[in-house]
Amino acid sequence: MRAILLLCLLQAAFGQYSWDRSASLTTPTSGVCLSDLTSCGCCLMRKKVERMESFFNISVEAMSMELKKSRTALNNIRESRSAFSVALNNAKQLTCYGPFPTKTVVIYKHVFINLGDGYSVETGVFTVPRSGVYSVALSAYSKAVSPFTTLAVCAELLVNGQVITGTRDMNTEDLEDSDTFVLAIQLKAGDKVAVNLPIGCSLCDDSTHYNTFTGFLLYATD
Ligand SMILES: *[C@@H]1O[C@H](CO)[C@@H](O)[C@H](O)[C@H]1NC(C)=O
């Protein structure tokens, strides 16, 4: 061993082995280490650098995959933004909708917001753009035109034609009534959500917007 070390030192001292960088980098064999101490140190360093490089390579790869996933998730959230809030009308004078002899979908004409264009001002129907949990709220107001007319403020929430919830206040003791409901509901893409006016009921509104219909996506579930 001592002899080999001595040999190495002698070789280094006499410069018999000039340090050929490319050779020592590409052929890091133990033979070279035994015969050339300079190459030996270089081999170890080279190995360490390689390990570090592959560690960094793996880390960078993992981080860019996470970044890609986050970007996709963020885009999904942006694309699925859905919120509408509408009022019955924007009239200067109190204007009533109903009563009608048959059940009628309430068409809310005044749009506060219709993000994602899910609500149709033509049909009064909100078409669910994306499956998820939605918050749906309604406020209803009506006024009897005289003490002798019946006051009936009522409205039903329809999902694909089925009544989900409603609000109802019918009496002859006062001339004004209002009602609200809010619910969180799981809806599927393509579901049709609307407000129905039951027979004999009416809703009245003006630019004060007592009658509002609101829905927004809390979070997507697909
Ligand atoms: C690290 O990545 C670079 C660029 O992709 C590549 O050239 C190099 O060979 C990689 N190194 C290791 C040790 O994997």
Higher-confidence position of 22 and 84: 84
Nearest to residue 143, comparing CAs of 192, 67, 88?
A: 88
Task: Work out the pLDDT band at 161, boundaries 50, 70, 90.
Answer: very high
- Percent share of the chain, pLDDT over 70: 83
176 lines ligand 1 (CB under 6 A): no
Q: Is the pLDDT of residue 9 over 50?
A: no
pLDDT of residue 40: 80
For residue 78, the surrounding DSSP H or E stretch is helix 37-79
Nearest CA to ligand 1 atom 6: 57
pLDDT of residue 31: 60
Lowest mean pLDDT among 68-82, 124-138, 164-178: 164-178
Nearest CA to ligand 1 atom 11: 54
76 lines ligand 1 (CB under 6 A): no
pLDDT of residue 182: 96
pLDDT of residue 114: 97
Expressed in angstroms and rounded, the spacing between residue 23 Cα and the centre of ligand 1 is 20
Expressed in angstroms and rounded, the spacing between residue 53 Cα and the centre of ligand 1 is 7
CA 121 to CA 118: how far, in whole Å? 10
pLDDT of residue 18: 44
- Segment 59-76, tens digit of pLDDT: 999 999 999 999 998 888
50 lines ligand 1 (CB under 6 A): yes
CB < 8 Å & 24+ apart, contacts of 2-11: 4/34, 7/35, 8/34, 8/35, 8/36, 8/37, 9/37, 11/35, 11/36
Check: CB of residue 84 under 8 Å from CB of residue 127.
Answer: no
Q: Is the pLDDT of residue 19 over 60?
A: no
72 lines ligand 1 (CB under 6 A): no
Q: Which of 51, 52, 53 to mutate to test the pocket of ligand 1 (most atoms within 8 A of CB)?
A: 53
Tell me what the mean pLDDT of segment 185-201 comes to.
96
pLDDT of residue 151: 84
CA 123 to CA 86: how far, in whole Å? 13
Tell me what the mean pLDDT of segment 189-197 comes to.
97
Expressed in angstroms and rounded, the spacing between residue 41 Cα and the centre of ligand 1 is 23
Expressed in angstroms and rounded, the spacing between residue 79 Cα and the centre of ligand 1 is 36
pLDDT of residue 172: 65
Q: Is the pLDDT of residue 137 over 70?
A: yes
pLDDT of residue 65: 97
CA 216 to CA 161: how far, in whole Å? 20
**Residue 102 DSSP symbol:** S
Q: Which amino acid is at 12?
A: A
pLDDT, the chain, mean: 85
User: Could you give the 3-state DSSP secondary structure of residue 150?
Assistant: coil
Expressed in angstroms and rounded, the spacing between residue 59 Cα and the centre of ligand 1 is 12
- Segment 82-117, tens digit of pLDDT: 999 999 999 999 999 999 999 999 999 999 999 999
Rg value, the chain, Cα:
38
Tell me what the mean pLDDT of segment 115-127 comes to.
97
Q: Which of 57, 58, 60, 63 to mutate to test the pocket of ligand 1 (most atoms within 8 A of CB)?
A: 57
pLDDT of residue 25: 47
